[in-house]
Amino acid sequence: MARISNGLITIINILTLLVSFVVIGVGAYFSLQTNSVCQKFLHWPVLILGIFLLVISILGIIGSCCRVSFFLWIYLFAMFMLSLAMVVLTVFVFIVTNKGVGDVISGHGYKEYRLGDYSSWLQKQVGNYNTWSKIESCLKSAEVCHGFTEKELISANEFYKKNLSPIQSSCCKPPTYCGYDYVNATYWQAPKSGLKSTDADCKAWSNNQEKLCYSCNSCKAGVLATLKTKWKEIAIFNVAIIVFFILVYTIGCCAMKNSQSDRYRRQFYGHH
């Protein structure tokens, strides 16, 4: 049993070590992409995760192969804290993404989104000027509205039936309740009778392809709708990771116990 638990810990940590090299490589790749605000924003978390996995896997390998109790203690503590952090993060994600659904628009193939429908924590995050400036740069860099130029010649009825993504529906066109008249997919005109709403988003809309509705609250809501879907997928994946960490932690405890038993036996037989 001692050999099995130590062997499993060694194999698992060798695999983790290989994964850490990949993660660090991806982080380094992001850091070299100096022309992309999005990739610059991503590289630090990825690098930190990769370095953490590298250190923890080395501790696990040394502790299990050489049966060094000190390294195993550090390894088990790190695994426990990581598992606890994953549980807290997963619960937090489920809580903050519990609110917020798109509004179904009659006769339209897409939904529209309102910022007030989301949790106050999420609203606060996208409401921060610096944070939103980075997100806006990412949206422009990703050319999320670029596909609208291909729809430029379609009729209004055809456009309304399109299945737009939350970001496209919220950032690339004015909100339906404003009452703008459709000219083409990239140009909307205010009716002579005036807009139907005095909402700030209606005034923020611009036919300038560099502005559009990127500064609208509806655009922020569309981003949150996308994040909500992605975060819930990640949270479900995190549950599987937590189960795996608990299994590794249990095996690590067995390896630790075996290491201590071996040490006591060596001390006992050394004195007899």
Say whether both 122 and 188 belong to one domain.
yes
Say whether both 83 and 140 belong to one domain.
no
Residue 102 DSSP code: P
Contact 54, 66 (CB under 8 A): no
pLDDT digit string, tens, across residues 157-209: 999 998 999 999 999 999 999 999 999 988 999 999 999 999 999 999 999 99
For the chain, what is the domain count?
Answer: 2
Say whether both 143 and 167 belong to one domain.
yes
Q: Is 2's pLDDT higher than 60?
A: no
Tell me how far apart the alpha carbons of residues 12 and 22 are, in angstroms, rounded to a whole number. 16
Residue 246: half-sphere exposure toward Cβ, Cα within 13 Å: 9
Using alpha carbons, select from 134, 132, 122, 47 the residue that is nearest to residue 92.
122
* pTM of structure: 0.75
Say whether both 115 and 81 belong to one domain.
no
Using alpha carbons, select from 232, 218, 188, 204 the residue that is nearest to residue 113.
218
Residue 72 is part of which domain span? Answer: 2-98+230-271
Say whether both 118 and 189 belong to one domain.
yes
pLDDT digit string, tens, across residues 245-256: 888 778 777 767
Say whether both 172 and 235 belong to one domain.
no
Say whether both 156 and 218 belong to one domain.
yes
Tell me how far apart the alpha carbons of residues 41 and 245 are, in angstroms, rounded to a whole number. 28
96-102 long-range contacts (CB < 8 A, ≥24 apart) are 96/121, 96/122, 97/122, 97/227, 97/228, 97/231, 97/232, 97/235, 100/221, 100/224, 100/225, 100/228, 102/166, 102/169, 102/225
Tell me how far apart the alpha carbons of residues 159 and 45 are, in angstroms, rounded to a whole number. 39
Say whether both 203 and 132 belong to one domain.
yes
**Burial (Cβ within 10 Å: 0-12, 13-18, ≥19) of residue 64:** buried
Say whether both 135 and 236 belong to one domain.
no
State the average pLDDT over residues 43-72: 81
pLDDT of res. 199: 94
